[in-house]
A and B are shown apart, each in its own frame.
Chain A
Amino acid sequence: MQKQTASRAHPGLVQSLGVDGRILTMLVVLAVVWSVFQILTMGQPGQFLSPQNLWNLSVQTAVVGIMVGGMVMVIVTRQIDLSVGSILGFSGMIMALIQTVPPLGWGGNWILALLVGLLLGALIGAFQGYWVAYWAVPAFVVTLAGLLIFRNATFIVASGRTIGPLDDNFKVLGGGLTGSIGELWTWMVGLMVMAYIVYQALTNRNRRIKNSLPVRPVWAEAVVNGALLALTLAFVLVMNAFPYPGTTVPRGMPVPVLITLVVLFTLNWVALNTRFGRYVFAIGGNPEAALLAGINVKRMLVAVFALMGMLAALAGAVQSARLNFVTNSMGNLLELDVIAAAVIGGTALAGGSGTIVGAALGALLMSSLRSGMVLMGMPTEWQNVVLGTVLLAAVIWNTVYLRNRR
């Protein structure tokens, strides 16, 4: 009650910024976590906020980051997908088999391998979505079955062997020594993003004014867009501050990070600006209303699961390219990281609520915690205890936030 009066008394700040309070919270938490880790690792050669560690952190976030946007959509429609780790492993294994030289593999083209892998992921997703949508089998059960089937199918197709090495071109996807886009292209991408932010801010505002719709105050536009520009610039500078070993040549943005950013940007755009995105949220908010409004709920669910499957396969491509050799346990238990990242990022398991940006920050927070704890030399058991605690805290905070909003 007191909190409510307090927030009424200052309708100004957060509300005028027009930014989701949960995303603001996430940013603050991230800043605090990063600062604490920096202080704790200050004396070591590899400090938390060193370009090297941040660059590595970005690569470590990529695999979960690619999948987490899809998981947000799945969870928003009131479903769950427990099979993403297994789909990642299975499609990664198929991609490895296609391109690895005989006798271990089939010696095919790496592009073919990638396309087949992505298609396979989408088909597996659609297959699971079909049972969920048209037969009303709970997604938990369908995808639990998928987890078992595809984890072990991975073993079967490779006869339990580790498959590799992979094609050198394919390995670019993994962000190894050949897997960065270099200083110049990092700047180009950064400048393009910055130009887009400015363009977007100006045209949106002008159009809303033309239609005499309410707009944010100018200072709020300046703060929000200024912050976005500053973040983009900082990102470019950090990516270009990490050189190849023994040289001063900057590596620039790793390819998997570029892929992650493109995926997240696209999904966020789709979620906010298209009918598809609108219907995902409508189905999550009230499936009956969505049906009565003429939305083809079943087909939407199949599409959402297919999208999730394809993203898992894409993450499988990145992961296998990074490892160079694909084992039959690749991606084991990764579904839990993806779901945890989505939930930490404010996605409500009850459905209808969640953001791609929040989930991306959730993924970054999880990998930051893990990276920081590794730097501090914390045992794995304790790392997992901390991550579990953070997950619980995030869910509680999210529940409280949603309840107060009503």
Chain B
Amino acid sequence: MAPLVEMHNISLRFGGNQALDNVSVNLYPGEVVGLLGHNGAGKSTLIKVLSGAYQADNGLLRVGGQEVQIRTPQDAQSQGIETIYQTLALADNLDAVANVFLGREKVRGVMLDEDIMEVEARKTLDRLRVKIPSLRLPVAQMSGGQRQTVAIGRAIYFKARCLIMDEPTAALGPEETQKVHQLIKALKAEGVGIFLISHDLHDVFDLADRITVMKNGRLVGTVYTQDVTHDDVLGMIIGGVMPRNVRPADQPAPRN
């Protein structure tokens, strides 16, 4: 099986700071890869290269086995790569419908087709099972969970093949976190590949099939979640060392 996304030897320098140094990761359909590391380890930079917000100085990107150039967020979106940023990247003054379709509005002629967008947004958000009473309120007036739902709805409406989630549960309560977990499992079952960036080891151990750890812009390594303990992963994050006797994990985890 070919990987859905392959990032090969990606390097990126900001001024004197080597933000990414020869980093290689891959992602297969229907799996969750947890991306871990300290603040400044390069996780967010790496996914911004994939989502088109940054461009790598060196390295290869392959999507579905084909080499691609991703220069803008639209390039990423046209490859089926959708990103849910930690900041959610919502326009707070606009309503839920406008945010779901931002940059990809439905139009009739030159006019926005508000009704179709509202119907479609309602369908998509209902799938996520978080109650949003009015889609026509500015999202600034919504709860954290509702805002998160809008951001996720934005990604799944456009049929993402690869979903990047940056700290999707950081701002959520336990119940809302649970809903996001269910959603991730549902998307996985549909064959969507997910990069999950998180600080919360419990989250990652609960959801990820493989774990990739970064430190100081370098790749520490990738392991199968079932092979390692929390302490092993902490060792990778803090010390930057691979645990002993683990299998190389550049293929999807074998199903049990």
Contact = CB atoms under 8 A, between A and B. Distances in A.
Interface of A: 207-208, 211-213, 273-275, 278, 281-282, 284-286, 288-295, 352-353, 405-406
Contact of A285 (B87, B93, B104, B107): B93
Contacts of B77: 294
A284 B104 CA distance: 18
Contacts of B112: 273-275, 278
B141 to A, nearest CB: 7
Interface stretch (B11-19, B57-65, B114-122, B210-218): B114-122
B207 to A, nearest CB: 24
A281 B72 contact: no
Nearest to B110: A274
A348 B18 CA distance: 41
8 contacts: A278-B112, A281-B94, A282-B91, A286-B89, A288-B89, A292-B51, A294-B73, A405-B141
Given A211-B116, A405-B141, A286 B105 contact: no
Given A288-B89, A294-B74, A278 B105 contact: yes
B102 A213 contact: no
Contacts of B94: 278, 281-282, 285
Contacts of A278: 94, 98, 102, 105, 112
A402 B54 CA distance: 35
B90 interface: yes
B174 interface: no
Interface of B: 51, 53, 72-74, 77, 83, 85, 87-94, 98, 102-105, 107, 110-112, 115-116, 118-119, 138, 140-141
A207 B102 contact: no
A353 B93 CA distance: 7
Ordered nearest first, which 8 A-B pairs have the shortest CB separation?
A: A293-B103, A285-B91, A285-B93, A352-B93, A289-B89, A294-B103, A293-B102, A294-B74
A294 to B, nearest CB: 4
Contacts of B74: 294
A211 B77 CA distance: 28
A332 B87 CA distance: 44
A258 to B, nearest CB: 24
A275 B107 contact: yes
Nearest to B116: A211
Contacts of A211: 115-116, 118-119
B111 A273 contact: yes
Contacts of A293: 73, 89, 102-104
Nearest to A274: B110
Contacts of A207: 115
A333 B89 CA distance: 39
B73 A281 contact: no
A211 B98 CA distance: 18
Contact of A294 (B72, B98, B107): B72
A132 to B, nearest CB: 20
B92 A288 contact: no
Nearest to A275: B105
Contacts of A288: 87, 89
Nearest to B85: A292
Given A281-B94, A282-B98, A289-B89, A213 B103 contact: no
A286 B99 CA distance: 11
A292 B115 contact: no
Given A282-B91, A286-B90, A406 B73 contact: no
B197 to A, nearest CB: 16
